[in-house]
Amino acid sequence: MKNLVLVTFTLVFLTSCAVQRYGRANSLTDVERKELTCREINIELAKAQEFLDDVKTQRTQTKATHVLGFFADFGIGNAMEGSEAQSSGEKRVSELKSLKETKDCK
């Protein structure tokens, strides 16, 4: 009986920490909007696009955290985390492209 409780507790503990973490891309700040040069905007665009590509790649790979996360919440947490990360990356790319257009960069 003790072993069953211990195994159950261990499985619950492991699966509760199993959601994949992707990170977030921050929205542009007012200071960035005012101070970024065209060159810096291009650099930031490249970084944001790389972040977005990494998130998309990670979402297609199956890892132990995906499997454990599926047992914890049927994969909902991993899907939500991935969507939020991808959404934040897309928003930053969009904001940077808009800023590039506003500042008439090439």
Q: Report the C-alpha gap between 41 and 2 in whole angstroms.
A: 59
Residues across the chain? 106
Domain that holds residue 58: 35-106
Diameter over CA atoms, the chain:
71
Global confidence as pTM: 0.70
Tally of structural domains, the chain: 1
Would you give the DSSP letter of residue 48? H
* Domain assignment present for 16: no
Per-residue pLDDT of the chain (106 residues; tens, 9 = 90+): 777 777 776 655 555 555 677 789 999 999 999 999 999 999 999 999 999 999 988 878 766 555 555 555 566 667 788 889 999 999 999 999 999 999 999 8
Collapsing DSSP to helix, strand or coil, 18 comes out as coil
Neighbouring C-beta atoms of residue 70, cutoff 10 Å: 16
* Domain assignment present for 89: yes
* Domain assignment present for 25: no
CB 69 within 8 A of CB 59: no
